[in-house]
Structure 1
């Protein structure tokens, strides 16, 4: 089996590439700069449909997630990848929304919704991985530092905000299954069930570090002040807005009916197991 993995040098694609190789599949990294990849790789340009067609043609499947960037660029990338899929006709496409949700009841508006809609119309076998919050967010120095130093996990969600957290390792597990198993199509939501609140996250860190850890709910603006020096104002802005939006929501828990737990029999790692697997 030959699979193409987009973003294979990044946080989400790299675990997928490794998981495919560990499962005995031939995985090729689709990247802009092939010199950044030690193994099999192919150069692609998201603005060139021809380069994408060249990478996809004759493959058993591709793993896609749309790169972070300006909205207009993401829209262009979504259309280019969809055009390439229609032309190259890979055997299977697995698309991660990278945390965005798909509203199938409304006309597609975001890049993720547009790409998912075009996949559904392409006639190519596909599945959409729909995660919520990534545990890797908690590894930023502004969160992990206080855990190590003061036993406090600081994050911009309410104490009672339940969310279906998952990790990039969980996404990789689901992606490998969906690439090889074509019996499941459409949206597969990934994340903890029941959802985890801040205290649950802190308990996972406490169990791993074998020391007391508590959770501190902070405001989105406070979090913004912490991450802006790391990301810059342009990149931090959308992150801050996403947590302002969450502040007005009751929770962020996936539906069991379309969860990986029900559809694939795959449950996400606990916080403690995730930390252990990473060797933090």
Structure 2
């Protein structure tokens, strides 16, 4: 029986491929490009999120499916969530692990009709074994050129959260390890929070960067608007405005920390990387 990985060449799917391949499991890599070379995958399949037929064919007979929804317009994401659910109902894989990719279950409540809520509630109502992985903010966000370049070149880590704002940061690598473990633990269902506990603040992040870079790095809180403007050349005005809106909303709250009782630490005995260990693991 195979394990099917959505977005197998992307930032979230590729680490899951690596984590599962290390255990010798047969993998099917779902990508947009059927000609892609995915190390560790037995087969590469081009499957469209909007095609229930393609997804059903990919899921049928699978021991596990790792799902995360692609970025895009929310209406499209809702449609993808419904298609994934339809394929799961038809194909009935043995286990599904869904990563919310930082949406839902955090400091901000996800609307009931959102893509993440649609997929989560659909899994809850279905008959297939599942788990929902809920990270908060990804440490990989700190690798965006406007953030990383300022830390490296000017000794300033700039981010759109106030200095005392605690976040249970996690890495894509942490999510991959949790997902791989959950395929071996069908007894664990529902939500599993992934992130540092206790949560860390901006100055904590800056100190870790400073230790790794061998120079003093200070933390500087910037406005969500300024952050959006800095990433607009990378992602476009629309997506950048959406990111700015997210941080504007987060900034109105006390923090974005996980609930320890539903954490990977408590349920699986897996502790996420500290910021310093993550920086070392990615070779910064």
- Measured against the shorter chain, the TM-score band is over 0.9
Inter-partner Cα distance in structure 2 for 1:47 and 1:246:
31
The runs of at least 4 consecutive aligned structure 1 residues that moved more than 6 Å come to: none
Quick one: structure 1 residues 239 and 74, their matched pair in 2 at CA, closer, same or farther if it must change by over 3 Å? same
Q: What residue in structure 2 maps to residue 82 of structure 1? A: 85
Inter-partner Cα distance in structure 2 for 1:28 and 1:88:
15
Inter-partner Cα distance in structure 1 for 2:44 and 2:251:
42
- Following superposition, the deviation at residue 5 of structure 1 comes to 0.2
Inter-partner Cα distance in structure 2 for 1:129 and 1:194:
18
CA-to-aligned-CA distance 1:101-158 (integer Å, 9 cap, x gap): 149x998221001101101111100000000000000001100001111111000000
Please state whether the residue corresponding to 2:188 is helix, strand or coil. coil
TM-score w.r.t. length of structure 2 = 0.95
TM-score w.r.t. length of structure 1 = 0.97
Q: Is 2:46 aligned against 1:43? A: yes
CA-to-aligned-CA distance 1:221-262 (integer Å, 9 cap, x gap): 111121111211011111010000011011000100101110
Correspondences of 1:18-97 after superposition (within 5 Å): 18-38=18-38, 39=41, 40-97=43-100
Please state whether the residue corresponding to 1:34 is helix, strand or coil. coil
- Following superposition, the deviation at residue 93 of structure 1 comes to 0.1
Asked whether the 8 Å contact 1:2–1:28 carries over to 2, the reply is: yes
Asked whether the 8 Å contact 1:102–1:112 carries over to 2, the reply is: no
Unaligned runs of 5+ in 1: none
- Alpha-carbon RMSD across the aligned residues, in angstroms, is 1.4
Q: What residue in structure 2 maps to residue 16 of structure 1? A: 16
Inter-partner Cα distance in structure 2 for 1:56 and 1:102:
26
Inter-partner Cα distance in structure 2 for 1:204 and 1:255:
24
